[in-house]
Amino acid sequence: MRIVLLLLGFLAAVLLLAGPELAPYPPTVPVGPPYALPAGAFPFGTDHLGRDVLARLLHGGRPLVLTAGAAALAGTLMGATAGLVAALAGPGGRRPANVVLRPFDAIAAVPPILVLLLTLTALPDRSGLVLAVALTSAPLTARVASAAAAQVANRAHVEVALARGESMRWLVGREVLPLIAPTVVADAGMRFVGAVHLIAAAGFLGLGVSDSDWGLMIVDALPGAALQPWALAVPVIGVAALAITANLFSDHMIRRTRWLAG
């Protein structure tokens, strides 16, 4: 069953990334009557402007996945690096750890939507969206990485490396990170899911990454949900399916990382 689910997840990822090439119609051009129910030419019907729901879904998948992936990767790198450095500050390293982690704690105290709005005010483009989502995910990743690294920071091989005077880069990359890689990978999967949700929320607020953003599809479909429920259900199911696929892929990578580390 797990293999079947992974294959379905891989197929979904291919469809998302190749969606614009597979879409039957342009995403912004009316191709039928408004609120048309699913029929032969329109498997999921049309929206309030007569645009094909399937075409909009396929066109909106790629920017959503790429933006969420970039934001999750950036947030994981920032947070994991800060957490590892804080955990390896060494004896009496409480002050260096505080210097590293306190700025992330300050960011975590701000609601994610507010971080999103403030960042997009300064950078009203996709880079601003990536930065905003990365900033909201980095503090939690920093705490997770710091807690995981603290469990192995006192092991003999780490203390020997400290006694040899190894650099922080060596300690992080060679001594500690291989041991906590499954934890970091699991956290990265959750950060990707959170990034998908926050980016969809940005689209819901009209701050999305494309004209066929899934969040924008949801808000457009709300007024006519009683007439054409598929226009609302399809992007909602798409967000949920993407989150499930990401979690399945994360589980697979965790097992693989444990095998490599062992």
Cα–Cα distance between 96 and 170 in angstroms, integer?
18
Number of domains, the chain:
1
Q: How many CB atoms lie within 10 A of CB 227?
A: 14
pLDDT tens digit at each of 262 positions of the chain: 566 656 666 666 776 778 888 888 999 899 999 999 998 889 999 999 999 999 999 999 888 888 999 999 999 999 999 988 888 875 455 566 777 888 898 999 999 999 999 998 888 888 999 999 999 999 999 999 988 888 887 788 877 877 787 777 777 777 788 888 888 888 898 899 999 999 999 988 888 778 888 999 999 999 999 999 999 999 999 888 888 878 777 777 676 665 544 5
CATH number, domain containing residue 77 = 1.10.3720.10
User: Which residue range is the domain that position 60 belongs to?
Assistant: 2-261
